[in-house]
Amino acid sequence: MPHNILSISYLIASVTFIIGLKMLSHPASARRGNLIAASGMALAIFATIFLYEDEGKHLGNYGWIFSAIGIGLVVGWMIAKKVKMTAMPELVSFFNGMGGACAALISIVEFDYIYRNGLGTPDTIFSSVVHAGHYLAIIAGAIIGSVSFAGSMIAWGKLNGSIKDVSFKGQHLVNLLILVLVVAGAIFTYFSNAAGANIPFFITVFLALLYGVVFVQPIGGADMPVVISLLNSFTGVAAACGGFLYDNKAMLTGGILVGAAGTLLTILMCKAMNRSLKNVLIGSFGGTKSGPARNTSEQSAIKEITVTDAAMVMAYAKKVMIVPGYGLAVAQAQHSCHELEKLLEEKGVEVKYAIHPVAGRMPGHMNVLLAEADVDYDKLLEMEQANDELPATDVALVLGANDVVNPAAKNDPSSPIYGMPVLEVEKAGMVIVNKRSMKPGYAGIENELFFDPKTSMLFGDAKKVLQELIGQIKEI
Amino acid sequence: METFDLFIRQHMDMVYIVILMIFLGIEIIGRVPSVLHTPLMSGANAIHGVVIIGAIIVMGKAESDNYLALILGFLAVVLGTLNVVGGFVVTDRMLEMFKKKKPKP
């Protein structure tokens, strides 16, 4: 009887995962969907703790289990609640890495059981002490989990700025070689002596970790969302391997569902940037500055504008389009931005926001930030709509965005971002660009927009500049 | 190869689940607006935290003298919980902002 209740609990959990994901893809139902999936998860966890039976025996070590869950609960809750909205993308990556590590650890422990059983029968090969399918689930879980863990940690480090983009010539060949070694290690372990199978197994796990590192390392920071989404689906598959291992339907459905949905989501994200997944993974943005070098005479042609002038121009404009980017997010300037918008509207200026799908560090990043500052939903224009309205706009105020307004994406085939749809701010009557410095954006390429005669630069931290602007406009 | 064949035959229902879930996963999020990409990724991230069930099983069946299983199992449960709790809470925080964002009538 308890076993039936357990199975039914898993069934309910699987259904909540499906419904949750379904509801998450519609704005109106998204939050409820998340809660439904979470309650299904809680049910599955408690049912496992109290009802799971292994060869007629209940699970033990309750003290250990509950203290581990307690630690995870408190720490996870604190991190998730305390972190700033701008750090959300890297947090998703961090939690994804935790899931990957969890899957890998499960596989390691399960391998250890089999290995110890094998020790009793010397001079046999490892394949004779383990079912092939069982081994496949263990090794796949270990490898995929490790890659996902190491990759997510690198992505996390890159997004919070502690790891720089590094790539070298022929890196893809090296990566491929490591991947081949991982697979070879997995096969070698299976056919090695049962008494010594642990050494090749752990080398394989180590190589998988290394692969995770070198796989993500050369990919530019701007592409991290895509990579995180991909690693997310990897972890899903690793979880599904655990499902095979324990004949557990909830793990299997949850894992595969995320694996499939995550893969599609990855492709959708690439599409939003008008690039293919292969292009993201192999044609790496970061590190190499393949864009044509600008000569210094052009460099000096940038024009600066004072805060007072900028305030004047905007206060007397009919229509202002604000183009937010990562600079706005790091400066936490969304509230100041909303304040400026309200002030301008009071003065009779029409203010809209142009949201590039990949502005910031994640698709939807800007929507989340501006929503936090209570910016009206109707004021946020998607890219196509914004591009239609830009020619009728007097002033485009670019706040810490760079690559998403780079005209090179349209007219310079040699540019690494060529083909990515961009916001055509140069069509506006005037462009004011707020940046902290002339440093290139995440893609590491120059932006010819800054040298456009229509463009004026307004250097400084986005929040500080916005507050100064607000002060000046109030005086007008 | 025979053992593999046996494994597949014993787990035919699992194979069906895998295939159906692949189609379902793709079908479900087919038309998600780009605004929701990040919360959806975060939500999916929380759901694969279901791997914690495996960690609980590992922990729960570890003998009291098997320190490797105890320590790694403990660690796995902690990390799995982090994934589940952190994932759902972060997603909720993101979506909390979307709620206010509904178009005003």
pLDDT for the residue B1: 60
Kindly identify which residue of chain A lies nearest to residue B35, measuring between CA atoms. Answer: A364
Is the Cβ pair A364, B69 closer than 8 Å?
no
Q: Is residue A277 located within the same domain as residue A322?
A: no
Query: Are A312 and A381 in contact, with CB atoms under 8 Å apart?
Result: no
pLDDT for the residue A158: 87
A332: left (phi over 0), alpha (psi -120 to 50) or beta: left
Q: Which residue from B30, B59, B88 is facing A68, i.e. has the nearest CB?
A: B59
Is the Cβ pair B61, A54 closer than 8 Å?
yes
Q: Indicate if the pLDDT at residue B4 is higher than 70.
A: no
Among A123, A309, A378, A403, the one annotated catalytic: A403
Q: Is residue A460 located within the same domain as residue A391?
A: yes
- Which 3-state string (H, E, C) describes A405-440? HCCHHHHCCCCCCCCCCCCCHHHCCEEEEEECCCCC
Give the domain-ending residue among A59, A82, A105. A82
**Phi, psi dihedral angles at A120 (to 5 degrees):** -70, -25
| Residue among A413, A402, A415, A398 nearest A447 (CA) | A402
Tell me the pLDDT band of B101, cut-offs 50, 70 and 90.
very low
Integer CA distances (angstroms), A234 to A42, A278, A419, in order: 23, 16, 28
Catalytic residue flag (residue A403) = yes
Q: How far is A139 from chain B (nearest CA, A)?
A: 14
In the A/B pair of chains, how many CB contacts fall below 8 A? 402
Span B74-87, pLDDT tens digits = 999 999 999 999 99
A236 contacts in B (CB within 8 Å)? 44, 47-48
B15 touches chain A (CB under 8 A): no
Query: Are A354 and A390 in contact, with CB atoms under 8 Å apart?
Result: yes
Q: Is residue A390 located within the same domain as residue A310?
A: yes
Q: Is residue A341 located within the same domain as residue A457?
A: yes
| Residue among A97, A145, A473 nearest A307 (CA) | A473
Q: Is residue A233 located within the same domain as residue A313?
A: no
Counting residues of chain A whose pLDDT is more than 70, the rounded percentage is 93
Q: How far is A271 from chain B (nearest CA, A)?
A: 10
Kindly identify which residue of chain B lies nearest to residue A60, measuring between CA atoms. Answer: B60
Span A178-237, pLDDT tens digits = 999 999 999 999 998 888 889 999 999 999 999 999 999 888 767 788 899 999 999 999
Q: Which residue from A20, A247, A376 is facing B43, i.e. has the nearest CB?
A: A20
Q: Is residue A229 located within the same domain as residue A141?
A: yes
Q: Which residue from A91, A251, A364 is facing B53, i.e. has the nearest CB?
A: A251
B29 touches chain A (CB under 8 A): yes
Tell me the pLDDT band of B2, cut-offs 50, 70 and 90.
low
Give the domain-ending residue among A253, A287, A321. A287
Mean pLDDT for A408-435 is: 83
Is the Cβ pair B90, A95 closer than 8 Å?
yes
Mean pLDDT for A252-270 is: 91
Angle (CA) A69-A100-A326 rounded to 5° is 100
Q: Is residue A92 located within the same domain as residue A64?
A: no
Q: Give me the number of domains chain A comprises.
A: 3
Lowest mean pLDDT among A127-136, A265-274, A427-436, B47-56: A265-274
Give the domain-ending residue among A43, A63, A82. A82
B44 contacts in A (CB within 8 Å)? 21, 24, 232-233, 236, 257-258, 261-262, 265
Is the Cβ pair B41, A265 closer than 8 Å?
yes
> Which domain does A272 fall in, by range?
87-287
Q: Is residue A94 located within the same domain as residue A77?
A: no
Q: Is residue A389 located within the same domain as residue A414?
A: yes
Q: Please count the other Cβ atoms lying within 10 Å of the Cβ belonging to residue B47.
A: 36
- Residue A378 CA, distance from chain mean position: 26
Q: How far is A141 from chain B (nearest CA, A)?
A: 10
Instruction: Note if the pTM is more than 0.80.
Output: no
Is the Cβ pair B80, A253 closer than 8 Å?
no
- Residue A66 CA, distance from chain mean position: 31
Higher pLDDT, A151 or B34: A151
pLDDT for the residue B74: 94
Span A121-160, pLDDT tens digits = 777 888 888 888 889 999 999 999 999 999 999 999 988 8
Specify the CATH number for the domain of residue A342. Answer: 3.40.50.1220
Is the Cβ pair A21, B36 closer than 8 Å?
no
Is the Cβ pair A248, B23 closer than 8 Å?
no
pLDDT for the residue B3: 65
Mean pLDDT for A107-122 is: 87
pLDDT for the residue B98: 67
pLDDT for the residue A296: 38
B3 touches chain A (CB under 8 A): yes
Tell me the pLDDT band of A286, cut-offs 50, 70 and 90.
very low
Is the Cβ pair A368, B94 closer than 8 Å?
yes
Q: Dihedral sign, CA of A426, A323, B36, A264?
A: positive
CA dist., res. A42 & res. B76, Å (int) = 17
| Residue among B19, B58, B55 nearest A100 (CA) | B55
Q: How far is A43 from chain B (nearest CA, A)?
A: 11
* Buried b / exposed e along A250-283 (16+ C-beta atoms within 10 A): bbbbbbbbbbbbbbbbbbbbbebbbbeeebbbee
Kindly identify which residue of chain A lies nearest to residue B76, measuring between CA atoms. Answer: A102
CA dist., res. A437 & res. A304, Å (int) = 12
Span A309-334, pLDDT tens digits = 888 888 888 899 999 988 888 888 88
Which B positions 38-97 lie with beta carbon below 8 A of chain A? 38-62, 64, 68-70, 72-97
Q: What is the ipTM of this complex?
A: 0.90
Is the Cβ pair A92, B42 closer than 8 Å?
yes
Is the Cβ pair A232, B44 closer than 8 Å?
yes
Residue of B50, B56, B67, B98 for testing the chain A interface, max A β-carbons within 10 Å: B50
* Buried b / exposed e along A368-380 (16+ C-beta atoms within 10 A): bbbbbbebbbebb
Residue found under tokens 């936490």: A332
Q: Is residue A178 located within the same domain as residue A231?
A: yes
Q: Is residue A150 located within the same domain as residue A197?
A: yes
Span A367-412, pLDDT tens digits = 878 887 888 878 888 888 888 888 889 899 998 888 888 888 888 7
CA dist., res. B21 & res. A260, Å (int) = 8
Mean pLDDT for B40-64 is: 92
Is the Cβ pair B79, A256 closer than 8 Å?
no
B100 touches chain A (CB under 8 A): yes
Q: Please count the other Cβ atoms lying within 10 Å of the Cβ belonging to residue A295.
A: 8
Is the Cβ pair A252, B18 closer than 8 Å?
yes
A251 contacts in B (CB within 8 Å)? 50-51, 53-54
Q: Indicate if the pLDDT at residue B105 is higher than 50.
A: no
Q: Please count the other Cβ atoms lying within 10 Å of the Cβ belonging to residue A393.
A: 23
**Phi, psi dihedral angles at A170 (to 5 degrees):** 80, 10
B26 touches chain A (CB under 8 A): yes
A60 contacts in B (CB within 8 Å)? 60-62, 64
- The burial class, CB within 10 Å (0-12 / 13-18 / 19+), for A191 is exposed
Q: Indicate if the pLDDT at residue A417 is higher than 70.
A: yes
Q: Is residue A339 located within the same domain as residue A399?
A: yes
Q: Indicate if the pLDDT at residue A295 is higher than 50.
A: no
- The burial class, CB within 10 Å (0-12 / 13-18 / 19+), for A88 is buried
Q: Which residue from A20, A106, A254 is facing B76, i.e. has the nearest CB?
A: A106
